[in-house]
Chains A and B, each alone.
Chain A
Amino acid sequence: MAKVEIASLSKRYGENFVVKDLSIEIPQGEFLVLLGPSGCGKTTTLRMIAGFVEPSSGQITLGGRDVTTLPPWKRNTGLVFQSYALFPHLTVDENVAFGLEMRKLPAAERRENVAEALRLVRLEGFGERLPRQLSGGQQQRVALARALAFRPDVLLLDEPLSNLDAKLREEVRVEIRELQQKLGLTTVMVTHDQDEALSMADRLVVMSQGEVRQIGTQRDLYERPADRFVAGFVGRSNFLAGQCEGDGAFISAGGLRMACTAGVRGKGTLALRPEAVSVGPEAAHLDNSFEGVVEYISYLGSVLDVRVRLAPQDRIIVQIANRSGEVLPKMGDTLKVGWPATSGRVFAEES
């Protein structure tokens, strides 16, 4: 396993940038997730690392080796596809041995590595089967074993879990993450699923329309989103339009004065996490305290989403924990809501 360095990597078709000026260093053993909506350039980035897409500019280095212009078969990357892409005419053993065979490993060593890889993904005894004789989850593990068996410099996962059903997906997440940590695999995963991204990554890159919006840990992204896009894409946010007066004062479209972290002067948006809002008597002591009317309630079990109208133009969703025995708000109730100034983040209007 090795360190991956990406320096001002771009891919453009004509005037249209699919990936724009991406730079990141991935230290050995890090699990990096590229997260973003479809068409954000995350898959193109992964395919550039794997060698299937030629960068328009920039450089990719694997363990100090410049691979920017190398074809895929000379890169030594372990790629797991969304569709697994197992060779249907080869047995599980032969699938896993494929990379070793291409590297001309002696047969004895090859058998050892195949057995080891299958043991890692808990598929001992499945070597003689054909891919079609396996379940989706097993096929996924064969794909992982195949990508690991030849000790690649970096493991690349292209939406590896999206073909699994929801319950299995959560198990496999943990499995892949544990394996990755145990073996110290430098890993780059692409996903559009933020739960998946948050639960597996050491660090994330949030992308949108080919551009990197933010690079950081889960906590960085959630608590200190760099822009409105990140605030909306990672976790949920209420967005209130308005005007920032500077000095931590925001005037909403409905004319409410809200204390916030110091923001840029001018037109902007205040982002507020639904769970950062307190309700009831405790709301009164907070920097921002308002009264609103409950417009809509979604009962989600452990929590309730309550839509509160603070002013005709200002509505926020408030997430309330569902503790037993507590009186829950009803539609039409007047509710006291409040939040500290540090919970409100103001973003200047995007050009």
Chain B
Amino acid sequence: MTLATSEVAIVRPRSRRPSSMALALIGPATLFCLLQLLVPVAILFRYSLNRFDPASYMVDALTAENYVKFFTDPYYLTVLARTIRVSVVSTLICLVMGFPLAYWLARMTSRWKNLMVILVVLPLFIGNAVRAAGWMTLFGAKGFINSVLLGSGIIDQPLTLMYTEMAVVVGIITVNLPFMVLTLQSVIEGIARPIEEAALSLGAAPFQTFRRVVWPLALPGTLAGTILTFILAMNAYATPVLLGGPKFTMMGPLVYDQFSQSNNWPFGAAVSFVLMATTLGLTFIAHTALRRRRVG
């Protein structure tokens, strides 16, 4: 009897505690996400099927006309294409620039390492508006670059640097690069240094070691970093508005304009869903393509 109860007393809390504990730990965040994410998404989707009336704004309906409008108007398709182009280009540049930096950080053994990591994250300490103001002083017609070039006589007309796709790509890279670098750094740190040394001692030159060992082992993290920065780029708002100017529209600003400027909630909702679906779709394609190459 005593034995039995003591056994129960010992066994039960041990087996029960983790699950109730886990629930307590993940519960609040899960609940918050459900309410804050899924509910608005569901409402938004319902809105996207409504009809817009200039007089009474949103009219209850069940129609696909908002989606039809988007996919039949070359203007909106251009906005979508531009958004994808800017996102792909900025993400690829982030990857190419970020990998060496992440590798260097990951293999760094100096006591300055933490400081270096902070330096990488530092751009994120600056708000979008402040950063864009900085870009303007640099890229503007009377900005630093043009002043220097004009002053030294290299050019006689100011270059158009602001309000270009290049400016937006550069701006997005500035914001996204830290995310890429931090993701890659943690993955590369997970590849033990002796594994690389083994490849080197087996006769693989550094590039071969990278191609055969570091890259394949870093692939899952590379994928994560790429997806993260791609999603951030697809949904960028402040950077395209501030650096792209009024004519350079991307999907994020388009959604906002429909809601706040045109008061066309149904169409805004539809654009949101196109953006979301495109982002998820491209992410999925990239993911499966890389997976297949890894297995094959």
A residues apposed to B, CB below 8 Å: 50-52, 71-79, 81-83, 85-89, 98-99, 102-103, 146-147, 150
Contacts and interface: CB of A to CB of B under 8 A. Distances in A.
A85 to B, nearest CB: 4
B55 to A, nearest CB: 63
Contacts of A150: 202-203
Given A73-B203, A150-B202, A87 B195 contact: yes
Nearest to A149: B202
Given A83-B194, A87-B213, A50 B201 contact: yes
B200 A72 contact: yes
A102 B216 contact: no
13 contacts: A73-B202, A73-B204, A73-B209, A75-B201, A87-B212, A89-B216, A98-B204, A99-B202, A99-B203, A102-B204, A103-B203, A146-B198, A146-B202
Contacts of A103: 203
B134 to A, nearest CB: 42
A186 to B, nearest CB: 16
Interface in B177-236: 192, 194-195, 197-206, 208-209, 212-213, 216-217
Contacts of B192: 83, 85
Given A88-B217, A89-B216, A73 B195 contact: no
Contacts of B206: 73
A85 B202 contact: no
Interface residues of B, number: 19
B102 to A, nearest CB: 19
Given A76-B203, A83-B192, A89-B217, A102 B208 contact: yes
Contacts of A146: 198, 202
Nearest to A52: B197
A74 B203 CA distance: 6
A321 to B, nearest CB: 44
Nearest to B202: A99
Nearest to B194: A85
Nearest to B213: A87
Contact of A79 (B195, B201, B212): B201
B197 A79 contact: yes
Contact of B201 (A51, A82, A86, A89): A51
Contact of B194 (A76, A78, A81, A147): A81
Nearest to B196: A85
A259 to B, nearest CB: 52
B109 to A, nearest CB: 13
A147 B200 CA distance: 12
Contacts of A78: 201
Nearest to B205: A73
Contacts of B216: 89
B200 to A, nearest CB: 4
B200 A73 contact: yes
Contacts of B213: 87
Closest 8 CB pairs of A and B: A102-B203, A85-B194, A99-B202, A85-B198, A79-B201, A72-B200, A81-B194, A85-B195
Contacts of A102: 202-204, 208
A2 to B, nearest CB: 16
A77 B195 contact: no
Contacts of A85: 192, 194-195, 197-198
B197 A81 contact: yes
Given A85-B195, A103-B203, 14 more contacts: A50-B197, A73-B201, A75-B201, A79-B201, A83-B192, A85-B194, A85-B198, A86-B198, A87-B213, A88-B217, A146-B198, A146-B202, A147-B202, A150-B203
A102 B209 CA distance: 10
A98 B200 contact: no
